[in-house]
Amino acid sequence: METLNEYVKEYKLQLKKGKIQKAYKGIMSFIFDLKTYLDRKYPDYHAGALYSGYMDMTYFAFTPLYLKRQKLKVAVVFLHEECKFELWLAAGNRKMQQEYINRLEGQDMGKYKLSEIKPGVDSIIAHSIVDVPDFDNVEQLKNQIENEIMEFVKDINKILA
């Protein structure tokens, strides 16, 4: 088993190469720009703060007000290790998450799948939207994510109705 000092030594070696910093900065800039773009274009949605994470995931909530009133949120999530984007329907706390999962269990949810209640799972529904993001074509990627968000919100509205 490696020690923290061994991990830090490898971390320093990788940082000296300079590629990790450039990739991380580019990803974070894209996500921040996406959040800003969506926030300006959809004033009837609530955009939460950007959570940068521990290089595991980065996300921000982007939630229509009717879901926010139900103490639910839609999270736009970038999973760093998998290098992909997901949308999550999430609740304000674990108890509400459990209540919604129980309520939706057995219901036809089309292409969506309920999350399991277990440690580390924060979603009610997690839906992969971009498995191979093209960061060299940011406008197309931004539009793709925007379209997926709007479809997800519309579908979630039907599922919860």
Bridge partner list, 84: 79
CA distance 135 to 142: 9
Task: Note down the domain range covering 39.
Answer: 4-160
Alpha-carbon distances of 33 from 18, 75, 88, rounded to whole Å: 23, 16, 20
Alpha-carbon distances of 57 from 10, 107, 108, rounded to whole Å: 21, 29, 29
Structural domain tally of the chain?
1
Residue-wise pLDDT tens for the chain (161 aa)?
899 999 999 999 999 999 999 999 999 999 999 999 999 999 999 999 999 989 999 999 999 999 999 999 999 999 999 999 999 999 989 999 999 999 999 888 889 999 988 888 899 999 999 999 999 999 999 999 999 999 999 999 999 98
> From start to end of the chain, where are the E strands?
45-47, 57-64, 72-79, 84-91, 123-130
Instruction: Enter the pTM of the model.
Output: 0.93
Query: Where do we find the tokens 């609740």?
Result: 91
